[in-house]
Chains A and B, each alone.
Chain A
Amino acid sequence: MNKHVLLVDDDPIFHIIFTRMIKKVYPELSVNSSLNGKIALEYLNTNYSEESQYIILLDINMPVYNGWQFLDIIKKKEIILNNNIIIFVVTSSTDLDDIKRAKSYSFVKDTLSKPLSVDSLNHVLQPLINE
């Protein structure tokens, strides 16, 4: 099964940090970068395949579509029922309200706090990669 990692974050530096880390730890994974929720949705609309596994790392505070808007839109899409999209909310916020809110979406697997370390990446990705 094809595995795609989507990083949705408006911070280009975070993209650089993240892609380099992934390259080091999981060189076989391809990472797609979107700077906001709208771009990410467009990517899914054109590239989605039932045969693939999608791992989305989603930031909350972004322009255009923020993380919440992205979650609300994808919640209404049929593709989410296929269970091949796994979302992690990744935010620099340590606000408990944000964490609670993120966990209220059934398809949000977990919340991660920036910065992402190799350990936290392993913790999150390993079970999915080794499937």
Chain B
Amino acid sequence: MSKDSLTLSILIIEDNLGDFVLLEDHLLEKFDAIQIFHEESFESAILTIKSDKKIDIILLDLVLPDLQGEVLAKKIQQNTTDIPIIILTGYTDIDLARKILSLGVSDFLIKDEINPEILYKSIIYSLERKSYINGLNKTKKTYQDLFNLSPQPMWLYDTSTLFFLDVNQAAIDKYGYTLEEFRSMTIKDIRPKNQIKYLQDSLAKHALTGSVGFAGFFTHTLKSGKNISVEIFSSNIDYNGRLVRLVLANDVTDKLEHTKKIEAQNVKLKDIAWTQSHVVRAPLSRILGIINLIELESFNSKDLPYLIEQLKLSGNEMDVIVRNIVNEAKLLNINESNNE
């Protein structure tokens, strides 16, 4: 039978030399390119694990001179996050085996029953399972990061109690509460008192019907007491087996402020346009009217001095109006630069 050419480095933690030699024989019978590290105590094993040696899998005897049983398995595991561990023991204690398996140990082999086949199968199976679980964890982490590291404040709340279940870092930064504080609060606690009714109406319309997407504009209160305007998007999601509401809050305070300023400016500009049409045209039309009259009456009219005086007055009136417009337009500019 041909050997597996998988490159593997295996740490065997076994104080009984006879057992170690047997294991080594089994391994060499099945694997072509393995490297074996051997440690005889918990203390020395930990040193090897913590060193920069690359270890792919650990075979662990459950009875070592300095540590045994469940505590030993736990301690080894704490120091090896990604390395699969196969437990070896002479005990035929199934209960202990089960218990240790539930800690996340990969497999459990009874020494008296070990042969090359069983050992080989267990190692390959443990490695495959570990890489599969690592893949799953990576996916899970990616999705958690999408929530936790999102630049937009997000949170989850329970639709029946309204308590916050989880909030992301952006929400913590924006609202000023810690995660613990958030978890002891309901979504009512981030609203001004006069907005509670509005919130309840919105909950009836969106959260309870499970609608997805834009839920409206709301006022939220930060820990500092400052109110902000937010645009809320929400949807129902399954969270650890229960249905909860996922909320994304977009702070539009500045945007709304900006819009208000632009609207105020538009009113001013309209005022100026109105002035142009009504106020400026009044003396201007008078000037043109007087000129029409002078033309009509010929230039040697005895009223000419009077009409010229009127021309002058209207001209001056227009001058004042135009100056006022210029000043108002200047005021617009000053407001702009103050806002920045």
Within 8 A of A (CB), among B301-316: 310, 314
Number of B residues near A (Cβ < 8 Å) is: 19
Determine chain B's interface SS by DSSP, over half rule: helix
Bound-complex Cα distance A20 to B291 (A): 13
CB distance from A117 to the nearest CB of B (A): 6
Within 8 A of B (CB), among A27-85: 61
Within 8 A of A (CB), among B275-312: 277-278, 281-282, 284-293, 296-297, 310
Asked whether B214 is an interface residue with its Cβ less than 8 Å from the other chain, the reply is no
Asked whether B274 is an interface residue with its Cβ less than 8 Å from the other chain, the reply is yes
Bound-complex Cα distance A57 to B198 (A): 55
Q: Whose C-beta in chain A lies nearest to the C-beta of B310?
A: A13
Indicate which residue in B278, B288, B310 contacts A115 across the interface (CB closer than 8 Å). B288
Within 8 A of A (CB), among B42-71: none
Cross-chain pair count, CB within 8 angstroms: 59
Asked whether A24 is an interface residue with its Cβ less than 8 Å from the other chain, the reply is yes
Q: Is the CB of A17 within 8 A of B278?
A: no
Chain A contact-residue range equals 20 to 34
Bound-complex Cα distance A93 to B314 (A): 16
CB distance from A13 to the nearest CB of B (A): 5
Indicate which residue in A14, A94, A116 contacts B281 across the interface (CB closer than 8 Å). A94
Given contacts A94-B281, A115-B285, contact A17 B274 (CB under 8 A): no
Q: Is the CB of B292 within 8 A of A115?
A: yes
Residues of A within 8 A of B277 (CB): 93-95
Bound-complex Cα distance A21 to B290 (A): 10
21 A-B pairs in the complex with CB atoms less than 8 angstroms apart: A11-B286, A13-B286, A13-B310, A13-B314, A17-B289, A17-B293, A20-B296, A24-B297, A61-B278, A92-B278, A92-B284, A92-B285, A95-B277, A114-B281, A114-B285, A114-B288, A115-B286, A115-B289, A116-B292, A118-B292, A118-B296
On B, residues with C-beta under 8 Å from A are 274, 277-278, 281-282, 284-293, 296-297, 310, 314
